[in-house]
Structure 1
Amino acid sequence: MFCSNCGHQVADGLSFCPSCGTKLAGDTNVQPVAPQQSEPQASIPQSPTQDSAIPQTPVQDAFTQQSPIPQSAGVAAAKKPFDKKKIGIIAGAAVVAAAAIIGVVSLISSAGSHKRTLFNDGLLPFQSDDKYGYINEKGEIAIAPQYDRAYGFSEGLACVSVEKEGDELTGFINKKGEVVIDMQYDGASDFKDGIAEVFLGDHVGFIDKKGKYIINPQYKKETVYFIGYDMFLIEDTSGDFWTLCNKKGKSINDTRFDEPDFINICPFYNEEWGSDKDKVDWKTIPLKTITGNYIYINSRGKTVLETQYDSADYFTDGIAAVGIGKKHGYINKKGECIINLQFDKAGAFVEGLASVGIEGKNSIKYGYINKKGEYVVSPQYESARNFHNGVAIVSTYSKRDNDDIYGVIDKKGKTIIEPQYDMLMFGEDKKHLVYELNGNYGYINYKGETDIPGIYEYASPFYSDGYAFVQISRNEFTVIDSKGEKICDNMFEFIYPPEHVAILH
């Protein structure tokens, strides 16, 4: 059939024209939704701040490694070839430092934090002969390679794409490989909280797991974002502010919000390797207003705390990092300042300690403070990541290598593993750290002893189900268990890890 507005030929079954976004005749499934203003809500008075002096430890020069989140780690551009080795390397590392960067607003789904598994729903996507399929935990092919793109399962469904007449169309399959939502979109995201984002031309909408529209594709791309808990941020038609709405498009908070950053607000970016963050309050969410200050909302969209700060993080164990300008400190849930704004960088509290950075002569140096604001490890490192199982990864600068080298310390600052590696990363199994040294990847235990030799061109951290994927050579990937043994003899052109989120548009 053809669109009555622009004349573009449209595939059968589509509700909206992929070219101009016009609603097609004969569709009874969806009704246009526009943001509506709710009744004015009583504003909550701003909580006072209270200065609390903290002991000052002499500061040496320091920096938490803050790896940027590359596009290919979580955003797959349609019809664009991937650098398979680089994707593998960044996929695990992409989220490592996100929570430590002050002002990051990586909203989470109502499911909360969870352990990462390599085999989501028992299946893992792979590439072979330029087609994509799925293997199970025994290394057996569960769904034959037949797709032009395929991503990990989420909530029982997986986003896949096939090319038809030069166009790549996207839909969803179940674990049996059955198409349950037709290949009809120009792109789509994974499901989160039972909702997936879909793209038709320059427009975006949201569907449920039956393929029914929750929000019609009436909005231009990047003018609406799903942030979990059935809440959406939608740009006003004036372009001057954003409104927090429910899935019916009705405003649920009178506050006018600033333009969100997709990478930070996307509900897929919410976890950190090697940090369970069990005590994070994912239901108290920081959002930036058009006046530049942050407020906190709850999972129903109601304002629970107004602040004077222009950067704010999630509450972890009842404490949140906040900042004004370049200085950062910490508040409690009453909005009271419990650790003064004195740090140049401030990370979240994990296992009772937080990494903080102080500007030195040539760089920021990092150490750790306790909840009283006292230094337990003085700022001396080029990077300092969150503690995990009683230890943390830190780095120092090597003149010989003209780069950072990584090691491990305990909570007293005692060196457990001397800085020597080009890269170190915790896994979810609490047994192994993956390392890179001179371009080779392998695994060590928490004592620094080699568990699995550095024989790989790339190796992911171990996931909580006890598996990791490794690269043997340029086009040879496989999966290993915690002993370093391959789960099958098959070699794949590439393996797509769970962090490789499907966002095709």
Structure 2
Amino acid sequence: MNGTLSRATQIVYRVNPRTSSEVDTLTLELTGQARWAGHGREATGTLPAGLFAELVGRLEQYSFKSVTGVHGDAMADYQHEIEVHEGPKKRSRCTLRVNHESGTLLGAAPTGIKEMVKLLDLIVARVQLGILNDESAEQVIAALLRQVDFPYVNPHGDPGAFALIDRRGELLPVSNQRFTMPFSSGLLPVRVDDKMGFVRPSGELVIPAAFLLTLGFSEGLAAVKVAEGWGYIDVKGVMVIPPQFVSAGNFADGLAHVHRGGHGGFIDKSGRFFADPPHASQVGRFAGGFAPYRALSRIGVPAWGYVDRHGAVALPPTHDFAGEFSEGLAAAQQDDLYGYLGTNMEFVIQPQFSVAGEFHGGLAAVAVDALTGYCDRSGTMVIEPRFIRGGAFAEELAPVVLGTRTGFIDTKGKLVIEPSFDTALPFSEGLAAVRINHRWGYIDRSGRRVVEPLYESALPFAGGLACVRRFADPKPVVHTGSKKVIVNLGPKSRPG
């Protein structure tokens, strides 16, 4: 602990139920000593000292350094209070209050507070049940953290600028310009003054900056906004679909979603339009000839179905969820379990999974009893569930999470790249983006670092190039001089 809470010696966590005057209190000492008391009962134990540092690190990561009130309904079921004390006099350096009702935190909860409350609740349960002394410190901390997925927060504040790199990690000339993604058809959107145009990676301006906004190219066409509305241009900058839309999306599977005249629908590359299914409240993109959509079912509850390339309803709203088709199959949820539909809209693999990913290379990541494995197109589990999470296969490798770290397996389930990364993306063109200590770089298939982890974010390689985002310059930490508020990062949250 070397941050602004480096002198912390004690963490106090209180939960106050509305229906009781009793307050459950967990007290954690810097040494690892833990004490829980509530409802006339008490439990004590010793946790790894490193867990205290982990908690303080999370508090600092999410800027929980000022006295913060998160207020919701006055009749909320629970109020949580987290306090951090320091030094011999135990002066309060960090206090958070958050109301909780029916599984939801009320009000404008800061990033990470839900996860922090969950982690503290897990620690409470561990202290209540007794702490196993035969576990190593690393095992205890890993067991707790694998149950909580903390969101990542850029420690530098606002995002940095995009850059384009080659396979050696060298910056391309366009990195000095204000470009955005996606990189498609050899072109990148770029901002020149207050207008958008398109450049090559060399920095050469190919399509003059004449547009108010653009989504970039997809399948050879780019949605662009001018005074008359949204239209589409080709790679030469010619407006091939005149501006007429209130909003416009990227092309996928030859179709793009648009709005005009108060109606939503899809257009093909000739501009032919067909309307969304009746009463659709949400429409996905096309893949494999179908697009999922959400509307009220015949019994009046929101459900998902599919529309085909001609605008006809291929499946009425039937399922709790419906995903995109991939390799002829689409994940669909029924009664809290996922299976896979074929293009005939019947279940090819019956609902049996708690999580179901897309098929890639004939395999899909699926979860059974909270662990992830991989099934084939018949539904046979070819890689047994033993991972915390699993990503899609690409180039015969897939990222998987073991404990709190990510590695890669082959199609036989063999671990070929040891789990040593915070997280990772699937391979593309022989390289995979990986995050190490919150910084992204790239590895090859042997696990060797090819591009050192230097970036805030990173996208897969395409056409020998990859887009990364640089870190912004760090913001200075200003000490307010208060004994209670160590850093004042903004106003307190207002009642929700």
Residue among 286, 297, 302 paired with 2:308: 297
The Cα shift of 1:340 comes to 1.3
- Aligned-partner residue type, residue 126 of structure 1: V
- Give how far 1:177 is off: 7.0
Correspondence 1:387 to 2:413: no
Tell me the equivalent position of 1:59.
none
- Alignment CA distance shift 1:228-1:308 (3 Å): same
TM superposition shift of 1:160:
2.8
Q: Does residue 188 of the first structure (1) align with residue 193 of the second (2)?
A: no
State how far apart, in whole Å, the 2-side matches of 1:290 and 1:469 are.
37
User: Does structure 2 retain, via aligned residues, the 8 Å contact 1:313–1:322?
Assistant: yes
Equivalent residue, structure 2, for 1:284 = 289
Instruction: String of CA shifts for 1:105-164, please: whole Å, max 9, x gaps.
Output: xxxxxxxxxxxx879xxx955344xxx2xxxxxxxxxxxxxxx5466764355433222x
Equivalent residues in 2 for 1:311-350, closer than 5 Å:
311-324=321-334, 326-350=336-360
What amino acid does structure 1 have at the position aligned with 2:213?
Answer: G
8 Å CA contact retained: 2:356, 2:367:
yes
Task: Give yes or no for the alignment of 1:411 onto 2:436.
Answer: no
SS of the residue aligned with 2:359? coil
CA distance in 2, matches of 1:369, 1:255: 32
Alpha-carbon contact 1:294-1:310 (below 8 Å) kept: no
- 2:290 maps to a residue whose letter is I
What corresponds to 2:423 in structure 1?
A: 423
Q: Residue deviations 1:13-45, cap 9 Å, x none? A: xxxxxxxxxxxxxxxxxxxxxxxxxxxxxxxxx
- Report the alpha carbon displacement of residue 356 of structure 1 after superposing the two structures with TM: 1.0
1:73-472 equivalences in 2 (<5 Å): 83-84=159-160, 124=172, 126-128=174-176, 132=177, 148-149=178-179, 154-155=184-185, 157-163=187-193, 168-172=194-198, 181-200=207-226, 203-209=229-235, 211-220=237-246, 222=247, 224-228=248-252, 231-235=255-259, 237=261, 242-246=264-268, 251-252=273-274, 255-256=277-278, 258-260=280-282, 265=285, 282-291=287-296, 292-298=303-309, 301=311, 308-324=318-334, 326-358=336-368, 360=369, 364-397=370-403, 404-430=404-430, 432-439=431-438, 444-448=443-447, 450-452=448-450, 456=454, 460=458, 463=461
Identify the residue that residue 503 of structure 1 maps to in structure 2. Answer: none
Report the AA paired with residue 174 of structure 2.
Answer: F
Whether the 8 Å contact between 1:253 and 1:303 is mirrored in structure 2 is: no
Q: Which residue of 1 aligns with 2:137?
A: none
The residue type paired with residue 192 of structure 2 is: V
Instruction: Provide closer, same or farther for how the CA distance between residues 456 and 332 of structure 1 changes in structure 2, counting only shifts above 3 A.
Output: same
CA shift digits 1:380-428 (9 cap, x unpaired):
322111223433221133xxxxxx2112233343333443322233432
Change in 2 beyond 3 A, CA 1:228/1:324: same
Instruction: Give the AA of the match of 2:159.
Output: D
3-state SS in 2 of match to 1:290: strand
Deviation at 1:187, TM superposition (A): 1.5
**Residue type at the aligned position of 2:289:** T
**Cα–Cα, structure 1 residues 206 and 321, in superposed 2: closer, same or farther, change >3 Å?**
same
CA separation of 1:65/1:179 partners in 2, compared to 1, >3 Å: closer, same or farther? farther
Structure 1: distance between partners of 2:235 and 2:468: 33
Gaps of 5+ in 1: 1-62, 73-80, 93-116, 133-147, 268-281, 398-403, 476-505
Aligned in 2, Cα 1:215/1:416: closer, same or farther, shift over 3 Å? Answer: closer
Deviations 1:421-472 (A, max 9, x none): 2223343233x44443335666555454x35485745685773655667899
From the superposition, tell whether residues 235 and 377 of structure 1 become closer, same or farther in structure 2 (CA, over 3 Å): same
Could you tell me how far apart the structure 1 residues matched to 2:466 and 2:173 are? 13
- Contact kept, 8 Å, 1:456 with 1:470, in 2: the verdict is no
Q: How far is 1:345 from its partner?
A: 1.4
Greater C-alpha Rg: 2
Larger strand share, 1 or 2: 2
**1:257–1:288 CA contact under 8 A, matched in 2:** no
Distance across 2 between alignment mates of 1:247 and 1:472: 35
415-424 vs 439-448, which moves further: 439-448
Q: C-alpha displacement at 1:366, in angstroms?
A: 1.6
Write the letter of the residue equivalent to 1:344: S
Structure 2 gaps of 5+ residues are: 1-145, 297-302, 474-496
Give the structure with the higher percent helix: 2
Q: Percent identity?
A: 25
Deviations 1:320-357 (A, max 9, x none): 22223632101222222121112221112222321112
Cα distance in 2 between the residues matched to 1:418 and 1:229: 36
> 2:399–2:406: 8 Å Cα contact kept in structure 1?
yes
| Partners of 2:288 and 2:327 within 8 A in 1 | no
Q: Is the 8 A contact 1:256 1:289 kept in 2?
A: no
Q: Take 1:193 and 1:453, find their aligned partners in 2: how far apart are those partners? A: 29
Amino acid aligned to 2:371: K
Instruction: Give the equivalent residue in structure 2 for 1:99.
Output: none
Residue 458 of structure 1 contacts residue 471 of structure 1 at CA under 8 Å; is this kept in 2? yes
CA contact (8 A) 2:172 2:202 kept: no
* Counterpart residue type for residue 324 of structure 1: Q
| Aligned partner of residue 126 in structure 1, secondary structure | helix
Distance change in 2, residues 1:175/1:312 (3 Å): same
1:369 deviates by 1.9
For the residue of structure 1 that corresponds to 2:196, the secondary structure is strand
Q: Distance in 1 between matches of 2:200 and 2:467?
A: 23
C-alpha separation in 2, matches of 1:389 and 1:67? 29
Structure-1 separation of matches of 2:221 and 2:441: 38
Matches of 2:236 and 2:463, distance apart in 1 = 29
CA distance in 2, matches of 1:427, 1:192: 21
Q: What's the secondary structure of 1:191's corresponding residue? A: strand
Q: Could you tell me how far apart the structure 2 residues matched to 1:287 and 1:366 are?
A: 25
Please say if residues 392 and 410 of structure 1, whose CA atoms lie closer than 8 Å, have aligned partners that are also in contact.
yes
CA contact under 8 A between 2:319 and 2:333: conserved in structure 1? yes
The amino acid that maps onto 2:461 is: Y
The one-letter code sitting in structure 1 at the alignment partner of 2:378 is K
Asked if 2 retains the 8 angstrom alpha-carbon contact of 1:206 and 1:213, the reply is yes
State how far apart, in whole Å, the 1-side matches of 2:397 and 2:269 are. Answer: 42
- 2: distance between equivalents of 1:427 and 1:469? 15
Q: Is the 8 A contact 2:322 2:332 kept in 1?
A: yes
**C-alpha deviation, 1:83, in angstroms:** 1.9
1:170–1:185: 8 Å Cα contact kept in structure 2? yes
Please tell me the residue identity of whatever aligns with 1:290: A
State the 1:196 CA deviation.
Answer: 2.0
Distance 1:375 1:82, change over 3 A: same
